[in-house]
């Protein structure tokens, strides 16, 4: 294994998710501004909020990379330069770009103070293209999702540039995410940050001479899934990814919720640490696998990383898997009386059995003894979007930033 420990890079769709990524052990986060980022519906950050995010993350020893990975139009030139100047002022560690024009602008604006990372949307698939980006001054490439680990290893060994690769999350069926399907069907351009995730809708096949007759093309009677990709999960192959010379393992999901972020960051943090502690004895623990199944997912695959004999292919999955857990809320603070304040996202009742998810160790079982409203009233239940105090059976089992959830009955 290399001298430098592999980075765990987590999504931060808004400030609350940034805090969660830091709390659960990310080494770095990636986020986007309100413009020029390919996740326009994830909340995102104003220029002032980017500066606040960088300050918060840096205080915790966490790096911040800002996505500016749209493919620009003529009328956006001045706004892009202004945005890049604000990223530089904020003190971000890197900017993520795909468009060669934005790359050129970033070099001019950022100088050597902020690294330039090349997005997966740039489709870096070979030694030649990696060498090109290195020659332009890029510090890192995100390898195209179509590459195998052996191809990535060859790039990492031969080109003086860091290689970042996805380790977990949704897979796009289009070539490295460059898709026209959403734009065509929904008028929302995925290459401009407006993806409607049309590849995850259900489809049927209609034959020309039989209009109105919808024909499933898979064994699932609900429809065809020939557009649908399984989610990526490489928890079994962390040693192989480290051995390939990858510098950063990236979790997809700026639009995903807090429960997803907590489960994935916590699990991959534990897996990476365990791998470095005992590389030869690396095994996937049962609680890690349980965490991977605690979030909504669409069946897992190894993408294109492995050989055919080892791989779980990414497409033609049946219907989405559903989580067997219900996210209840984030613990905001502890109170002198032993209670905790919680932002409630789903209904919580007095007497409910719950789980506390913290950065370390398996989930901790607990029970809600009291629900106290902000007007100091004992209530039978707390409803979504309330901020309440909960008194737990084991009050010392949690800390601010931990996640509260419930196993579905």
Considering only residues 238 and 200, tell me which one the structure prediction assigns the higher pLDDT: 238
Same domain? 62 vs 151: yes
Note the pLDDT of residue 303.
86
178-201 burial string, b = 16+ CB within 10 Å, else e? ebebbbeeeebbbbbbbbbbbbbe
Does one domain contain both 154 and 197? no
- Say which residue, 23 or 231, is predicted with more confidence: 23
Summarised one tens digit per residue, pLDDT across range 196-228 is 777 777 777 777 787 887 765 554 544 445 566
pLDDT band per the 50, 70, 90 thresholds, residue 96: very high
Are residues 234 and 255 located together in one domain of the fold? yes
Q: How far is CA 110 from the centre of its chain?
A: 26
Considering only 185-194, 261-270, 349-358, which range has the smallest mean pLDDT?
185-194
Most confident of 168-182, 228-242, 302-316, 320-334: 228-242
Of residues 317 and 323, the one with the higher pLDDT is 323
Q: What's the mean pLDDT in 360-365?
A: 91
User: With 60 as the cut, is the pLDDT of residue 395 above it?
Assistant: yes
Indicate the range of 110-119, 152-161, 182-191, 267-276 predicted with least confidence.
182-191
CATH number at residue 159: 3.20.20.70
Residue range(s) defining the domain that contains residue 202: 175-215
Residues 196 and 88 occupy one common structural domain = no
Q: Are residues 31 and 159 in the same domain?
A: yes
| Residue 269 pLDDT exceeds 90 | yes
Q: Are residues 257 and 366 in the same domain?
A: no
Section 369-390 average pLDDT: 92
374 assigned to some structural domain: yes
For residue 394, the number of C-alpha atoms closer than 13 Å in the C-beta half-sphere is: 11
Q: Please report the pLDDT score of residue 146 as a whole number.
A: 84
pLDDT at 337 over 90: no
Per-residue confidence at 312, pLDDT binned at 50, 70, 90?
low
How confident is residue 304, by pLDDT bands cut at 50, 70 and 90? confident
Domain shared by 251 and 270, yes or no: yes
- Between 229 and 191, the more confident residue is 229
Same-domain status, 153 and 201:
no
Burial class (CB in 10 A: 0-12, 13-18, 19+), 408: exposed
Task: Let me know whether 137 and 181 are in one domain.
Answer: no
Would you call 102 helix, strand, or coil by DSSP?
helix
* 357 part of a folded domain: yes
For residues 292-302, average pLDDT: 87
Provide the 3-class DSSP secondary structure of residue 165: strand
With residues binned 3-state (H G I as helix, E B as strand, rest as coil), the percentages for the chain, rounded to 5, are 30, 25, 45
48-76 pLDDT, tens digit per residue, is 999 999 999 999 999 999 999 888 889 98
Residue 377, in any domain of the structure: yes
| Residue 353 resides in a domain | yes
Residues 151, 180 within the same domain? no
Q: For residue 222, tell me if it sits in a domain.
A: no
User: In 3D, which of 119, 79, 123 has the Cα closest to residue 97?
Assistant: 119
Q: What is the pLDDT of residue 207?
A: 75
Mean pLDDT of the chain: 87
158 and 184 fall within a common domain: no
Scored b (16 or more CB within 10 A) or e, 137-165 reads ebbbbbbbbebbbebbbbbbeebebbbbb
Q: What are the tokens at 69?
A: 């990975």
User: Phi and psi for 317 in degrees, rounded to 5?
Assistant: -85, 150
**Number of domains comprising the chain:** 3
pLDDT at 316: 47
Judge whether 10 and 167 are in contact, CB under 8 Å. no
CATH of the domain at 385: 2.40.30.10
* pTM attached to this predicted model: 0.87
Task: With a cut of 70, say whether residue 352 has pLDDT above it.
Answer: yes
Kindly state whether residue 89 falls inside one of the protein's structural domains: yes
Q: Assess whether 105 and 240 both reside in one domain.
A: yes
Which conformational region is residue 96 in: left (phi greater than 0), alpha (psi within -120 to 50 degrees), or beta?
Answer: beta
Domain-located, residue 319: no
Helix (H, G, I), strand (E, B) or coil at 167: strand
Q: Which of 294, 268, 297, 298 has its CA nearest to residue 405?
A: 294
Residue 368 pLDDT > 50: yes
Answer with the residue of higher pLDDT: 373 or 133: 133
∠ Cα 116 5 263 (to 5°)? 90
Per-residue model confidence as pLDDT tens digits over 135-159: 999 999 999 988 999 999 999 999 9
Residue at 220 is within a domain: no
Write down the pLDDT at residue 402. 95
**181 to each of 227, 250, 259, 278, how far by Cα in Å?**
10, 25, 29, 45
At residue 226, the pLDDT reads 56
Long-range contacts of 304-309 (CB under 8 A, 24+ apart): 304/145, 304/146, 304/147, 304/148, 305/147, 305/148, 305/149, 305/234, 305/237, 305/240, 305/241, 306/148, 306/149, 306/237, 307/148
CB 312 within 8 A of CB 377: no
Question: pLDDT for 108-117, tens place per residue?
Answer: 999 888 999 9
What lies within 8 Å, CB to CB, of 385 at 6+ separation is 344, 345
Mean pLDDT of the 27-46 span: 81
């Amino acid at each position: 294994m290399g001298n430098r420990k592999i980075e765990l890079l987590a999504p931060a769709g808004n400030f609350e998710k940034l805090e969660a990524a830091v709390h659960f052990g990310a080494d770095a986060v990636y986020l986007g501004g309100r413009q020029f980022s390919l996740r326009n519906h994830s909340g995102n950050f104003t220029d002032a909020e980017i500066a606040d995010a960088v300050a918060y993350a840096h205080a915790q020893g966490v790096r911040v990379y800002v996505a500016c990975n749209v493919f620009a139009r003529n009328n956006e030139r001045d706004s892009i330069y202004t945005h890049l100047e604000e990223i530089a002022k904020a003190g971000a560690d890197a900017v993520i770009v795909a468009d060669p024009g934005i790359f050129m602008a970033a070099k001019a604006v950022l100088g050597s103070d902020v690294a330039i990372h090349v997005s997966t949307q740039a489709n870096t698939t070979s030694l030649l293209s990696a060498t090109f980006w290195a020659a332009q001054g890029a510090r890192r490439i995100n390898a195209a999702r179509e590459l195998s680990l052996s191809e990535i290893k060859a790039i990492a060994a031969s080109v003086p540039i860091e290689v970042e690769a996805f380790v977990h999350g949704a897979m796009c069926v289009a070539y490295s995410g460059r898709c026209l399907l959403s734009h065509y069907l929904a008028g929302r351009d995925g290459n401009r940050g407006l993806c409607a995730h049309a590849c995850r809708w259900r489809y049927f096949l209609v034959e020309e001479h039989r209009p109105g007759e919808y024909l499933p093309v898979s064994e699932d009677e609900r429809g065809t899934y020939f557009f649908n990709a399984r989610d990526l999960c490489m928890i079994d192959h962390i040693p192989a990814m480290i051995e390939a010379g990858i510098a950063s393992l990236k979790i997809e999901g700026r639009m995903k919720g807090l429960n997803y972020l907590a489960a994935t960051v916590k699990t991959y943090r534990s897996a990476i640490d365990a791998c470095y502690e005992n590389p030869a004895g690396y095994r996937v623990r049962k609680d890690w696998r349980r965490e991977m199944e605690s979030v909504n997912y669409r069946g897992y695959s190894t993408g294109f990383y492995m050989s055919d004999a080892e791989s779980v292919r990414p497409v033609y999955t049946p219907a989405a898997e559903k989580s067997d857990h219900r996210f209840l809320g984030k613990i905001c603070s502890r109170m002198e009386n032993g209670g905790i304040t919680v932002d409630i996202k789903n209904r919580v009742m007095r007497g409910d059995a719950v789980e506390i998810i913290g950065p370390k160790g398996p989930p901790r079982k607990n029970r809600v003894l009291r629900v106290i409203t902000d007007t100091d009233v004992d209530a039978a239940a707390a409803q979504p979007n309330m901020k309440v105090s909960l008194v737990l059976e084991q009050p010392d089992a949690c800390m601010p930033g931990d996640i509260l959830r419930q196993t579905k009955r």
